[in-house]
């Protein structure tokens, strides 16, 4: 399947935009509906994890978008020192393929962890276990 360079850039823009909108809206929701926990981590942890996840998950689409826009600009307008500086940053070792995969993995882990904290998944699991144990204790009597 052949895809034009323009369609490829539009797909990178759409990927980045949709991910940015969804993740920032989830961060906003976590900020407006904080868990009612007495400790700082229980209250702010979900938001911190989701904000970290947002940054980590947006790195790869942003790099793809920046590199492709720079290459398109180079083809259309020729060399520019700004393009050189941006590409130097984009191809630093911290933005190589392997580190970007690690960032994405951590982004998804933080997102799942923050969501579990937001809905108090661990507390609900403990309550369900306690309920099952109390039913077992009553059944044994």
What's the pLDDT tens digit per position in 116-134? Answer: 999 999 999 999 999 988 8
Under a CB-based contact definition with an 8 Å cutoff, are residues 110 and 52 in contact? yes
Q: Say what the pLDDT of residue 32 is.
A: 96
Of 30, 38, 34, the residue nearest 54 (C-alpha): 30
Q: Please give the distance of CA 26 from its chain centroid, rounded to a whole number.
A: 10
* pLDDT above 70 for 1: no
The whole domain housing 105 covers 5-140
What's the pLDDT tens digit per position in 46-59? Answer: 999 999 999 999 99
Q: Say what the pLDDT of residue 139 is.
A: 73
d(CA 3, CA 32): 42
Write down the pTM of the prediction.
0.84
Instruction: Label residue 117 exposed, middle or buried (CB < 10 Å: 0-12, 13-18, 19+).
Output: buried
pLDDT band at 136 (very low <50, low <70, confident <90, very high): confident
The domain tally of the chain equals: 1
**Angle between helical axes of 40-77 and 81-90 (0-180°, round to 10):** 140
* pLDDT above 70 for 141: no
């Amino acid at each position: 399947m052949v895809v034009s360079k323009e369609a490829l850039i539009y797909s990178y823009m759409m990927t980045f935009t949709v991910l940015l909108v969804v993740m920032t809206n989830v961060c906003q929701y976590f900020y407006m509906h904080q868990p009612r926990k007495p400790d700082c981590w229980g209250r702010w942890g979900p938001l911190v994890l989701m904000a970290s996840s947002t940054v980590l998950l947006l790195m790869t689409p942003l790099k793809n978008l920046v590199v492709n826009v720079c290459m398109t600009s180079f083809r259309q307008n020729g060399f520019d020192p700004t393009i050189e500086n941006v590409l130097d940053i984009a191809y630093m070792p911290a933005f190589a393929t392997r580190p970007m995969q690690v960032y994405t993995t951590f982004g998804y882990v933080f997102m799942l962890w923050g969501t579990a904290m937001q809905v108090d998944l661990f507390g609900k699991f403990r309550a369900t276990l306690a309920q099952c144990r109390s039913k077992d204790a009553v059944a044994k009597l």
